Amino acid sequence: MIGNGAVVLSEGAPSLEPLAAATGVFAYLWLLIALPLLGAAVLLVGGRRTNRWGPYLGVLTVSLAAVFAIVLVVSLLGLPADDRAVGQTLFEWVFVGGFTVPAALQLDQLSMVFVLLITIVGALIHVYSLGYMEDDPDRRKFFGFLNLFIAAMLLLVLADNYLLLYVGWEGVGLASYLLIGFWQFKPSAAAAAKKAFIMNRVGDVGLSLAIMLIFITFGTVTFDSVFAAAGEANESTLTWIGLLLLLAACGKSAQFPLQAWLLDAMEGPTPVSALIHAATMVTAGVYLIVRSNPIYDGTAFALTTVVIIGIITMFLGAIIGSAKDDIKKSLAGSTMSQIGYMVMAAGLGPIGYVFAIFHLLTHGVFKANLFLGAGSVIHGMHGEQEMRRYGALRSVMVITWITFMCGYLAIIGIPPFSGFFSKDDIIHAAFEQNIIIGICGVLAAGITGFYMTRMVIMTFFGKPRWPDDAHPHESKPVMTIPLIILGIGSVVTGAALLYWGNIESWLEPVTGIEEKPLAIPTIVLEGITLLIVLIGVSIAIARYRREVPVLAPKGNLLTVAARNSLYDDAINEALVVKPTYVLSDGSIFVDERIIDGTVEGSARLVGGLGARLRRLQSGFARSYALLMVGGAVMVLVILYLARLP
Amino acid sequence: MTSTDPSAAEAVVFWVCAFLSVVGGIGLILSRRAVHSALWVALTMISLAVLYIANAAPFLGMVQIIVYTGAVMMLFLFVLMVVGVDSSDSLVETLRGQRVAGILLAVGFGLLLAIGLGSALNGVPVVGLDGANGEYGGNVEGLARLLFSEYVLAFEIVAGLLVVAALGALVLAHRERWQPRRTQREISQERTRGGIHPAPLPPPGVYARHNAVDTPALLPDGSVADISVPGPLRARGDLRPVDTAAVAETAALTSGEATYGPAKRPVADDPGTSPGEPS
Amino acid sequence: MSVDNYIILACVLFTLGAIGVLVRRNAIVVFMSVELMLNATNLAFVAFARMNGNLDGQVIAFFVMVVAAAEVVVGLAIIVTVYRSRRSASIDEPNLLKY
């Protein structure tokens, strides 16, 4: 049943690139998913008796998966460039009449990089969590959920059809819900979990509709068959599919207009924020768009919409990130903004797909680094998340500070840190496509420089503003070692992927690639971008070098709006929640007054009539006889009247 | 007697009998006592029997007299005796508006019926029963032919109905015996020991001038012995009053204070000569 | 004087019977009133037979008499039973037949 290494090919459907049979080490592809799934099953079903060793099992399964992923990538590199895609059918999953969907996995270049990101970063975060969640009584459950998430996320990226992808998609949504609400005794966490779950459902409706539309149009949901037939499909159909997939991506990746849940999702433990809400799950939307590139290639309108959504979210996140005083929420705004970058790049078409994924990878590493660093700070400050109560932490948390600085330099795009390469490529591609998009990208990079510098200064520089009894301290090695590894990753990932890993040609078979001539030389563009970023950095230094007030100053209109996440909750409340309340109140009114009123009113009418009519039934036989005679008289009268001419 | 058109003689018979039957019906309604009502109804039924005969239905007339007047009405009287002939109805109406509404509705009904029938029958020729009665040699033969040919099934069913009715009456009137029947010995023992009069009840008329059943016996002290009079009479109060003068006279004779001979006192009118007066 | 007079008489007697049923309270008197109504219809049947010139009306009247006899037997038995248990022949007494 499992691991039989059968070739996955939908019969009768033409395929873009036939998948090679999963032989050799690839025959064990299913282990990637099975390992963390096993861990989750043991930890969640095993109950309290696994409390003692459970967390270590969780770390072990993911680490094994990471090692196996490295083995897989090495094996994949050993294959010729055109054959680096293997498939494996696990079992026949759905068979309804002529419609069959196998539970089949597909490992190609795109999936491979995701698998690497998920397993390696996931493993590091698991290790980190050993330290971060040390004192939590529900530690075992936490690791169970984390393993469940890893399994679902791997299923999402390894699926070879939309239906199986949907399973993984819902699985990560579930894991996200469970982990945001992990401290469900906090009402805010429980509410945040529900909010994330419900807003994700909106996107999921888009995905399920898109799958249905795909099935109606192409008669299959397998990637190969769908993409092979995508070129011949009607453009308006492709546009609808593309927009629905975009809706799904918006839900999962916290893009405008479904972005409101991400900031609240920071209620979850910090490793969760790092793994799910920064590095992996929120990038699933980008994966979906890039994976569906043959569909988007056929529809310029959907692609343009993708770009617009990306740009809006990019600025939205950056503005929110600039105003929030909660370090995690500020980072969440940054995540929104960076994913906006990726979505924008994905919307550029073949020029941008590669760079969207490239930025996704580097971002996955340095944002995990930043989040874990923030987690280390929060851990050291005993749960304090308010940056206005930090300050001068660089002296007490040296390792955290240095690694955080690596992430910081990476995200603002200082060469040779990783973010420089990926972000610069996106801006480059944007300028190739359209100069306005390019300018937006550069401006957003400047704002990135501003808010990240603000965060760093408020946290690590200046004077200490923490209370006297805070006693901040550096974290344990179990937390700092993953930080160091990720810090190194933040430095080298970009260059390594670009020059050593040759990411462009690696992904080219999946995404295609396109170059356009650019009017200005690349080096000049890079210089301008760097200049803008440095201006943003300087503004931040100028503003926050002096004393930072512990209580937030009043601020101007934009600041207040940004502190309130640009009123996204209020907007959702007014646009969706209030009308729903009105609708349900109306339904209640209709139900209670009109429907119940009719029913109860008729019953009351009959009852009242009966109460009056029963007086006639006096029990006296003579009264009854009188009534009978009266009836007879009436019959006679009616007969006479009827006979009258 | 021709049956096609009523002759003058029949008209006389009709008006007399119609008058009597209506009077009987009104009497039925107005009589306080059920017995009187029954007698008025009997009058009506006999009148109707005469009218049947006048209508060329001699058999039905006879059946009317024999079955209705003879059997049914006697059964009514019999039941009245069981229930108590003495009880006279109160004519005060207890149901509000019942009497007025009942009379109005019934009269209205009768009027509507009469008007309807009268208008429907207006101008319908009267065939008469001479032909039908004569076909088989008489009214009884004609009826018999119909009953035992066309109506034989109904006839049999009605026969069954009569049997069932008799059985039903038996069942309804039957009282379930819950204890073993008392023997004569037990009855006499009970009577003797229960302090009830053990000997035969005193006959009426002891020391009395009359020996009619309504004349109570007198005890030695001259008071009335109620038990000497049948219960229904007692209940109705139909006791002949005691002639105290006669009692005193008798006592004087017994004691020898007086001798038989012409009365020393003027003979008073016997108030007891008006029987039936409540005392 | 015509045969119609018999019909009118029947109507009058029927009405009197109906009044008796509605007005009197003694069950036996009510019962006699019902008999009077039956007799009124019998008279009408006999008169109709004469008008139509066949004996079927008389046969029906005969059957009415038989059925009335059966009815009287059962009805009086019921009255006796009721009297036995309630010590009264008033038809207003058993007024349990109500709501």
| Cβ contact, residue pair C31, B76, below 8 Å | yes
Assign A209 a pLDDT band (cuts: 50, 70, 90): very high
Starting at the edge strand that comes first in sequence, how are the strands of the sheet with A86-96 ordered? A20-21, A86-96, A99-107
| Cβ contact, residue pair C22, B154, below 8 Å | no
How many CA atoms lie within 13 Å of A601's alpha carbon, on the beta-carbon side? 7
What is the distance, to the nearest Å, from the Cα of residue A225 to the centroid of all Cα atoms in its chain?
27
What is the pLDDT averaged over residues A455-465? Answer: 85
CATH number at residue C46: 1.10.287.3510
Judging contacts by C-beta atoms under 8 Å, the chain C residues touching residue B158 are 63, 66-67, 70
C-alpha distances in angstroms, A174 versus A165, A196, A281, A634? 14, 10, 11, 76
**What pLDDT is stored for residue B218 in this prediction?**
74
- DSSP letter (8 states) at residue A49: G
Q: Is residue C62 part of a domain?
A: yes
Beta bridge partners of residue A103, listed in sequence order: A91
| Cβ contact, residue pair B101, A626, below 8 Å | yes
Same domain, B69 and B12: yes
Q: Is the pLDDT of residue A17 over 60?
A: no
**What pLDDT is stored for residue B262 in this prediction?**
59
- How far apart CA A453 and CA B145 sit, in angstroms, is 129
Is residue A249 within 8 A of residue A202, CB to CB? The reply is no
- Min mean pLDDT across A54-63, A195-204, A614-623, B223-232 is at B223-232
Q: What's the burial of A123, exposed, middle or buried (CB within 10 Å: 0-12/13-18/19+)?
A: buried
Is residue A371 within 8 A of residue A274, CB to CB? The reply is yes
Judging contacts by C-beta atoms under 8 Å, the chain A residues touching residue C22 are 622, 625-626, 629
Is residue A444 within 8 A of residue A345, CB to CB? The reply is no
Q: Is residue C91 part of a domain?
A: no
In the structure encoding, which two tokens stand for residue B123, read together?
Answer: 């101008």
Who has greater pLDDT, B176 or A361? A361
Residue tagged 């999946």 (tokens): A510
What is the pLDDT averaged over residues A379-385? Answer: 84
Q: What's the burial of B244, exposed, middle or buried (CB within 10 Å: 0-12/13-18/19+)?
A: exposed
**What pLDDT is stored for residue B165 in this prediction?**
93
Judging contacts by C-beta atoms under 8 Å, the chain C residues touching residue B94 are 25, 92
Mutate to test the interface with A, among B105, B107, B113 (most CBs of A within 10 A): B105
SS3 B240: coil
Query: Which tens digits make up the pLDDT trace of A302-342?
Result: 989 999 999 999 999 998 888 888 889 899 999 999 999 89
Q: Is residue C43 part of a domain?
A: yes
What is the distance, to the nearest Å, from the Cα of residue B51 to the centroid of all Cα atoms in its chain?
23
Q: Which contacts qualify for A520-523: CB closer than 8 Å, 24 or more apart?
A: A520/A431, A522/A428
Closest CA of chain B from C45, distance in Å: 10
Q: Is residue C96 part of a domain?
A: no
Same domain, B206 and B170: no
What is the distance, to the nearest Å, from the Cα of residue A43 to the centroid of all Cα atoms in its chain?
25
- How far apart CA B163 and CA A209 sit, in angstroms, is 84
Query: Which tens digits make up the pLDDT trace of A344-361?
Result: 999 888 888 888 889 999
| Cβ contact, residue pair A633, B116, below 8 Å | no
- How far apart CA B176 and CA B173 sit, in angstroms, is 10
C-alpha distances in angstroms, B155 versus B92, B139, B167? 44, 18, 19
What is the pLDDT averaged over residues A19-32? Answer: 77
Taking the CA atoms of residue B112, residue B116, residue B118 and residue B124 in that order, the dihedral angle to the nearest 10 degrees is: -170
**What pLDDT is stored for residue A28 in this prediction?**
85
Report the number of distinct structural domains present in chain B.
3
Beta bridge partners of residue A144, listed in sequence order: none
Q: What is the 3-state secondary structure (H, E, C) of A266-324?
A: HHCCHHHHHHHHHHCHHHHHHHHHHHCHHHHHCCHHHHHHHHHHHHHHHHHHHHHHHHC
Q: Return all residues near A245 (Cβ < 8 A) that are at least 6 apart.
A: A206, A207, A210, A288, A289, A292, A295
Who has greater pLDDT, C50 or B240? C50
Instruction: Tell me what the pLDDT averaged over chain A comes to.
Output: 85
Closest CA of chain A from B249, distance in Å: 58
Q: Return all residues near A118 (Cβ < 8 A) that are at least 6 apart.
A: A150, A153, A154, A157, A280
Q: Which of A94, A79, A67 is nearest to A164 (CA)?
A: A94
**What pLDDT is stored for residue A280 in this prediction?**
87
**What pLDDT is stored for residue C97 in this prediction?**
66
**What pLDDT is stored for residue B48 in this prediction?**
94
What is the pLDDT averaged over residues A73-95? Answer: 82
- How far apart CA A415 and CA A175 sit, in angstroms, is 36
Is residue A463 within 8 A of residue A392, CB to CB? The reply is yes
Q: Is residue C98 part of a domain?
A: no
Q: Does C86 lie at the interface with B, CB-CB under 8 angstroms?
A: no
Which member of A614, A620, A622 has the closest CB to residue C99? A614
SS3 A326: strand
Q: Return all residues near B278 (Cβ < 8 A) that are at least 6 apart.
A: B236, B237, B238
User: Phi-psi region for residue A71, left (φ > 0), alpha (ψ -120 to 50) or beta?
Assistant: alpha
**What pLDDT is stored for residue B263 in this prediction?**
54
What is the pLDDT averaged over residues A50-71? Answer: 90
| Cβ contact, residue pair C15, B10, below 8 Å | no
Judging contacts by C-beta atoms under 8 Å, the chain B residues touching residue C91 are none
Closest CA of chain A from C26, distance in Å: 11
SS3 A86: strand
Q: Which of B29, C71, C25 is nearest to A620 (CA)?
A: C25
What is the pLDDT averaged over residues A199-222? Answer: 90
Q: Does B95 lie at the interface with A, CB-CB under 8 angstroms?
A: yes
Q: pLDDT above 90 covers what percent of chain A?
A: 28
**What pLDDT is stored for residue B39 in this prediction?**
92
- How far apart CA A124 and CA A112 sit, in angstroms, is 18
**What pLDDT is stored for residue A645 in this prediction?**
64
Closest CA of chain A from C25, distance in Å: 8
Q: Return all residues near A625 (Cβ < 8 A) that are at least 6 apart.
A: C21, C22
| Type of residue at C10 | A
Closest CA of chain A from B198, distance in Å: 47
**What is the phi/psi pair of residue B224, to 5°?**
-85, 135
CATH number at residue B65: 1.20.120.1200
Same domain, B14 and B81: yes
**What pLDDT is stored for residue A298 in this prediction?**
84
Assign A475 a pLDDT band (cuts: 50, 70, 90): confident
Radius of gyration of chain C (CA): 17
Which member of B95, B98, B109 has the closest CB to residue A633? B109
Query: Which tens digits make up the pLDDT trace of B11-51?
Result: 899 999 999 999 999 999 998 888 899 999 999 999 999 99
Judging contacts by C-beta atoms under 8 Å, the chain A residues touching residue B113 are 636
- How far apart CA A304 and CA A290 sit, in angstroms, is 14
**What pLDDT is stored for residue B254 in this prediction?**
76
- DSSP letter (8 states) at residue A386: B
What is the pLDDT averaged over residues A205-213? Answer: 93
- How far apart CA A353 and CA A359 sit, in angstroms, is 10
Chain C: partners with 3+ C-beta pairs within 8 Å? A, B
ipTM value for the complex? 0.91
Q: Is the pLDDT of residue A196 over 70?
A: yes
Q: What's the burial of B248, exposed, middle or buried (CB within 10 Å: 0-12/13-18/19+)?
A: middle
Judging contacts by C-beta atoms under 8 Å, the chain B residues touching residue A638 are none
What is the pLDDT averaged over residues A27-54? Answer: 87
How many CA atoms lie within 13 Å of A2's alpha carbon, on the beta-carbon side? 7
Is residue A177 within 8 A of residue A195, CB to CB? The reply is no
Residue C57 domain boundaries: 4-86
Query: Which tens digits make up the pLDDT trace of A131-154?
Result: 888 888 888 889 999 999 999 999
Assign A265 a pLDDT band (cuts: 50, 70, 90): confident
Assign B274 a pLDDT band (cuts: 50, 70, 90): very low
- How far apart CA A117 and CA A357 sit, in angstroms, is 11
Report the number of distinct structural domains present in chain C.
1
Q: Return all residues near B190 (Cβ < 8 A) that are at least 6 apart.
A: B182
**What pLDDT is stored for residue A12 in this prediction?**
36
Would strands A20-21 and A86-96 be described as parallel, antiparallel, or unpaired?
parallel
DSSP letters, A425-465, are: HHHHHHHHH-HHHHHHHHHHHHHHHHHHHHHHHHHHSSS--
Assign B264 a pLDDT band (cuts: 50, 70, 90): low
- Determine which helix (DSSP H) or strand (DSSP E) holds A579, and give its type and residue range: helix A578-589
Q: Is residue B102 part of a domain?
A: no
DSSP letters, A127-189, are: HHHHHHTTT-TTHHHHHHHHHHHHHHHHHHHHBSBHHHHHHHHHHHHHHHHHHHTTTTTSHHH
Judging contacts by C-beta atoms under 8 Å, the chain B residues touching residue C18 are 102, 105-106, 109-110
- DSSP letter (8 states) at residue B222: S
Q: Return all residues near A591 (Cβ < 8 A) that are at least 6 apart.
A: none
In the structure encoding, which two tokens stand for residue A149, read together?
Answer: 């998430």
Residue B9 domain boundaries: 1-87
Boundaries of every domain in chain A: 304-563, 572-643
| Type of residue at A605 | L
Which member of B41, B128, B143 has the closest CB to residue C59? B143
Q: Is the pLDDT of residue C64 over 90?
A: yes
Judging contacts by C-beta atoms under 8 Å, the chain C residues touching residue A617 are 97-99
Judging contacts by C-beta atoms under 8 Å, the chain B residues touching residue C49 are 55, 57, 129
- How far apart CA B195 and CA B193 sit, in angstroms, is 5
DSSP letters, B25-56, are: HHHHHH-SBHHHHHHHHHHHHHHHHHHHHHTT
Assign C59 a pLDDT band (cuts: 50, 70, 90): very high
Query: Which tens digits make up the pLDDT trace of A178-189?
Result: 999 898 888 989
Closest CA of chain B from A625, distance in Å: 9
- Determine which helix (DSSP H) or strand (DSSP E) holds C58, and give its type and residue range: helix C56-86
Same domain, B139 and B62: no
Query: Which tens digits make up the pLDDT trace of B185-232?
Result: 888 888 778 776 777 777 766 556 667 777 777 776 667 777 777 777
User: Phi-psi region for residue A502, left (φ > 0), alpha (ψ -120 to 50) or beta?
Assistant: left
**What is the phi/psi pair of residue A23, to 5°?**
-115, 170
**What pLDDT is stored for residue B134 in this prediction?**
80
- How far apart CA A210 and CA A214 sit, in angstroms, is 6
Q: Which of A404, A313, A419 is nearest to A360 (CA)?
A: A419
**What pLDDT is stored for residue B1 in this prediction?**
43
